[in-house]
Structure 1
Amino acid sequence: MLVLALDTATARITAGVVELGPDGPPVTLAARDGVGARAHAELLAPAVRDALAEAGRTRRELDAVVVGLGPGPFTGLRVGLVTAAAMGDALGIPVHGVGTHDAMAAGLPGRILVVTDARRREVYWSLVVDGVRTHGPEVVAPAVLAERLEADLGPVDRVVGDAAHQLGAGGEVPGPTPSGLVAVAAAALRAGTPPAPLSPLYLRRPDAIPPGAPKTVTRA
């Protein structure tokens, strides 16, 4: 099965062509990984094109699309979701959404704390234990997360993500890999399970809101 994997939930733009067999881990045939926190729309389409070209495949050969659902900032995250949905509709193939934090922790044993940049001096975080998310995702200030670790979450084996430095950690795995994204959806893909609707994990209301009703102006 040939799968296109996309994610725009972090500052990194991930696109890759992945082969998923009847068993065993997904194998990445080609990947593109760019950085541009405010350039997702400009970078994603070329990344998809280049990954397909490197893999020697065409869009018509794809069997499915897997896309990261976040958490992530509104504008960047929706670029990946809209692109995945449009490709799935145009090609008549299923589009599976997976948690971006789940994909970042895929294949990592133990207690993995995933921390990504939420801007506004906050972070998104999840705790994944042996591949199963047990807490999150949530959005909080780094100091609040540090208090949670001390109070009730307990020690972790690794901290990954592009905001790990805000907790004084190293920050391995700055973003999801194509194989990690597909690994999270592998069981559903192999079983032919119909995908659920794409429900982005914004965790915040958008900055832009519709204007309110015009104010009534009276004359004295």
Structure 2
Amino acid sequence: MWILALDASLSACSAALLADDAIRAGRSLAGERGHAATLPPMAQAVLAEAGVAATDLDAVAAVVGPGGFTGIRAALALAQGIALGAGLPVIGVTTGEALAAALPPAERAARAVWSVVDNRRGRVVLERFVSGAMAPEAPPVALDIADLPRPAGPIILVGDAAAAVAEALAAAGVEAVASRHRLPEAAAAARVAALRLAGRIPPLAARPLYVEPPAVRLPAAALPA
């Protein structure tokens, strides 16, 4: 099974190629801007390194959010373009799924996993996973940190808001550990996509997953007087 996975949901972008449960090639670049220009040559380089063409793939996957409006759409547009030309399915992977899948299996099995992503509006987007699960137990939800639910037991946190949430939960007497996995990676997204393609976790549409409407700023000339 060959899967090309793409991610540009947060402040980095990456591409990875999975074959037979192993990552054969991968590229990543930190930065919040320029994903639409960076991802296509990155994907091309990954395919070239592995010596495969798009027509050799079984599927293309993209991280669909929650995350940044522009990056999510850049990854999805590229995934859909590659898939259309090669006659392939496009598989959606959530940001939280990609983050949780990057954890070692032993860590996922020992604690529930919370993915917490800063929505840049003073809140975090929460995806919760029961211990050992690869798919979230419910859709993501945006909350103030003070309004986060109290977990039933110890948890491990992933995502770019992990440190802030761990500090807040610890102050409330919750056993919470912030992992080092702060940004999603295409390599982990590819592993989730393989499970989804095999029918081992529920399907997810390859379209943007926005928990809240994207923040759009009108150009100065368009603002009312």
The TM-score normalised by the length of structure 1 is: 0.79
Report if the CA contact (8 A) 1:112-1:156 is conserved: no
Aligned to 2:3, the other structure's residue is in SS state strand
State the identity %. 33
Unaligned runs of 5+ residues in structure 2 are 168-176, 219-225
Compute the RMSD of aligned alpha carbons: 2.4
Pair 128,40 (structure 1): closer, same or farther in 2 beyond 3 Å? same
Report if the CA contact (8 A) 1:6-1:14 is conserved: yes
Report if the CA contact (8 A) 1:113-1:156 is conserved: no
1:171 shift after superposition:
4.2
2:55 corresponds in structure 1 to 60
Aligned length: 198
Q: Which amino acid aligns with 1:183?
A: R
State which of 24, 27, 32 in structure 2 corresponds to 1:29: 24
1:139 corresponds in structure 2 to 142
Task: Give the whole-Å Cα distance in 2 for the aligned partners of 1:39 and 1:119.
Answer: 19
Q: Which amino acid aligns with 2:47?
A: L
2:68 corresponds in structure 1 to 73
Task: Give the whole-Å Cα distance in 2 for the aligned partners of 1:162 and 1:97.
Answer: 21
State which of 160, 176, 179 in structure 1 corresponds to 2:184: 176
1:197 shift after superposition:
4.0
Whether 2:125 is the aligned partner of 1:117: answer: no
Deviations 1:80-134 (A, max 9, x none): 1111111111111111112221122124323011112211222211111121412
Rg bigger for which structure?
Answer: 1
Report if the CA contact (8 A) 1:162-1:171 is conserved: no
Aligned to 1:203, the other structure's residue is in SS state coil
Question: Mapping of 1:132-211 within 5 angstroms?
Answer: 132-145=135-148, 148-149=149-150, 153-167=151-165, 168=167, 170-190=178-198, 197-208=205-216
Q: Which amino acid aligns with 2:159?
A: G
The TM-score normalised by the length of structure 2 is: 0.77
Pair 207,161 (structure 1): closer, same or farther in 2 beyond 3 Å? closer
2:46 corresponds in structure 1 to 51
Deviations 1:137-195 (A, max 9, x none): 112222322xx23xxx333331111221222354421223334223323244236xxx7
Report if the CA contact (8 A) 1:112-1:127 is conserved: yes
Aligned to 2:78, the other structure's residue is in SS state helix
1:128 corresponds in structure 2 to 129
Q: Which runs of 4+ in 1 moved over 3 A?
A: none
1:15 corresponds in structure 2 to 15
